[in-house]
Amino acid sequence: MHALSAAGSGSSQMMTITLQDFSGSSVPTSGIRRLVVPLDQLQSTYGRLLRSGVKILGVSNGLTSTAATPEQSPAGSSAPASPQPATTAKPARKAPARAAHGDVPVNLYKPKAPFIGKVISNESLLKEGAIGRVNHIIMDLSGGDLRYVEGQSIGIIPDGLADNGKPHKIRLYSIASTRHGDNLAGNTVSLCVRQLQYEKDGELVNGVCSTFLCDIAPDAPVKITGPVGKEMLLPDDEEANVIMLATGTGIAPMRAYLRRMFDPGERARNPGYAFRGKAWLFMGVPTTPNLLYEEEFQSYLRAYPDNFRYTKAISREQNNSGGGRMYIQHQVAECADEIFNLINLDSTHLYMCGLRGMEPGIDEAMAAAATARGLDWKTLRPQMKKAGRWHVETY
Ligand code: NAP
């Protein structure tokens, strides 16, 4: 079923089917109707409607203001409705319970006894003319027990001492590789790290750990803790729809998901996970040379055009409709109807990683799309979160 759970509970749950009935009308839009049915009759009603030849435009949960009218058919009630965009809604099926993830490894190595990994490679991910420094760092985990899954993070303890004379605290980084690592041997972990640089009192300050990592040489030892995090895990469902919103190095977990879904070597390693859903990546970077993992994503587009969609927000090259910098939330606003139709399916998960600043804009876009359907985003988003389908890790 649609996991945006319906108004009420149990047998009182009601669902709204929006349909277009051409019979008796030469003007298509005048035939758009809403049918309100109890949840337990949704599947049979849906089938009956399909067989009768009407076009089903969507299924949403709960009663809408126009739909809460007296019954007009044995299955439920119908009422005129404003035109709705077509959706990819499917017949109802039972919503999966939020996954417990009890088998996901966490805190195998703690700050007091970190795992000592070894750098295999440290290479820039940027092209000529890019702003700043972003590196892809692969570390060897051989000889230890540091296991992880896609969407988790590891801690890094940089060498040296902090200003207070004590060892540096750990910094968390999202893992950019799948559980099998980039070499598929299951003994490495990769990070995507931007060197943090900012001005303080007129002086340029380099981030301690990001600079340590961007400068680290192959063969150097590195103190690693974790893994941590269960917020950003991918569903096991091979038919899930996965919407990914990333700014800058927030692409790290998405890069791992996309490898798991589409990389040929990964697919060969995962006979139980042959992704068949829709993956839609929104990626925000300042300039084209700042795009990360572009070649990999382009190869997935070529190999899986029906399963992978890729939308870029290149802030300093594109303008939004207001004339300002194109941020990811502007692209999301432009596609809000399509996104909304997707997240109305309980098989859809949305992941957001990167700058916290994108969150309000994305909420605004989703709220507008919800309002256009007579729904309240303030109610729906917590429901998605509770169902484990709305995953956010922003700093
Ligand atoms: P960045 O290159 O600084 O920025 C990426 C893009 O986001 C740029 O195009 C930038 O535009 C744009 N942007 C700036 N403000 C924005 C806003 N309010 N809303 C939407 N887009 C905005 O990215 P970065 O340095 O890699 O930083 C990524 C951030 O993600 C860092 O804060 C990092 O700590 C965080 N991060 C979090 C996780 C996690 O939580 N697991 C993992 C990785 C990274 P302009 O610069 O052109 O304005």
Q: What CATH number is associated with residue 328?
A: 3.40.50.80
Total structural domains within the chain: 3
Q: Is residue 212 part of a domain?
A: yes
Last residue of a domain, one of 205, 228, 251: 228
Q: How far is the CA of 248 from the centre of ligand 1 (A)?
A: 5
pLDDT at 184: 97
Domain span at residue 360 reads: 241-394
Judgement on whether residues 310 and 218 belong to the same structural domain of the protein:
no
Judgement on whether residues 189 and 284 belong to the same structural domain of the protein:
no
* CATH number of the domain where residue 170 is located: 2.40.30.10
Q: Is residue 154 part of a domain?
A: yes
Cβ neighbours for 333, distance < 8 A, ≥ 6 positions apart: 361, 364, 365, 368
pLDDT at 33: 62
Q: Is 172 in the pocket of ligand 1 (CB under 6 A)?
A: no
Cβ neighbours for 136, distance < 8 A, ≥ 6 positions apart: 121, 122, 123, 124, 125, 176, 190, 191, 192
Which stretch of DSSP H or E encloses residue 315? none
Sheet containing strand 279-285, strands side by side: 308-314, 279-285, 241-247, 348-354, 390-394
Which stretch of DSSP H or E encloses residue 200? strand 197-200
pLDDT, one tens digit for every residue, the chain (395 residues): 344 433 333 334 555 665 554 333 333 333 556 666 655 555 555 555 544 555 555 555 543 322 222 222 323 333 333 333 333 334 344 445 567 788 899 999 999 999 999 999 999 999 999 999 999 999 999 999 999 999 999 999 999 999 999 999 999 999 999 999 999 999 999 999 999 999 999 999 999 999 999 999 999 999 999 999 999 999 999 999 999 999 999 999 999 999 999 999 999 999 999 999 999 999 999 999 999 999 999 999 999 999 999 999 999 999 999 999 999 999 999 999 899 899 989 999 999 999 999 999 999 988 988 898 888 999 999 999 999 999 999 98
Judgement on whether residues 299 and 371 belong to the same structural domain of the protein:
yes
Q: Is 353 a catalytic residue?
A: yes
Q: Is residue 261 part of a domain?
A: yes
Contact status, residue 108 vs residue 146, Cβ threshold 8 Å = yes
Judgement on whether residues 248 and 220 belong to the same structural domain of the protein:
no
Q: Is residue 5 part of a domain?
A: no
Out of 109, 173, 257, 300, the active site residue is 173
Scanning the structure block, which residue is given the tokens 């902090």? 162
Q: Is 356 in the pocket of ligand 1 (CB under 6 A)?
A: no
Atom of ligand 1 nearest to the CA of 394: 40
Q: Is 395 in the pocket of ligand 1 (CB under 6 A)?
A: yes
> Please, is 380 exposed, middle or buried when counting C-beta atoms within 10 Å of its C-beta (0-12, 13-18, 19+)?
buried
Q: Is residue 91 part of a domain?
A: no
pLDDT at 329: 93
Atom of ligand 1 nearest to the CA of 232: 41
Within 13 A of 319's CA, how many CA atoms are on the CB side? 4
Q: Is residue 103 part of a domain?
A: no
Judgement on whether residues 285 and 366 belong to the same structural domain of the protein:
yes
Scanning the structure block, which residue is given the tokens 């109707």? 33
pLDDT at 200: 93
Task: Kindly give the pairing relationship between strand 188-194 and strand 71-73.
Answer: unpaired
Q: Is residue 233 part of a domain?
A: no
Judgement on whether residues 286 and 314 belong to the same structural domain of the protein:
yes
Last residue of a domain, one of 30, 65, 80: 80
Judgement on whether residues 121 and 215 belong to the same structural domain of the protein:
yes
Judgement on whether residues 248 and 389 belong to the same structural domain of the protein:
yes
C-alpha 389/C-alpha 395 separation (Å) is: 20
Judgement on whether residues 295 and 253 belong to the same structural domain of the protein:
yes
Judgement on whether residues 292 and 378 belong to the same structural domain of the protein:
yes
Out of 174, 177, 315, 347, the active site residue is 174
C-alpha 269/C-alpha 272 separation (Å) is: 9
Cis peptide before 218 (omega within 30 of 0): no
Q: Which two tokens stand for residue 176?
A: 């950019």
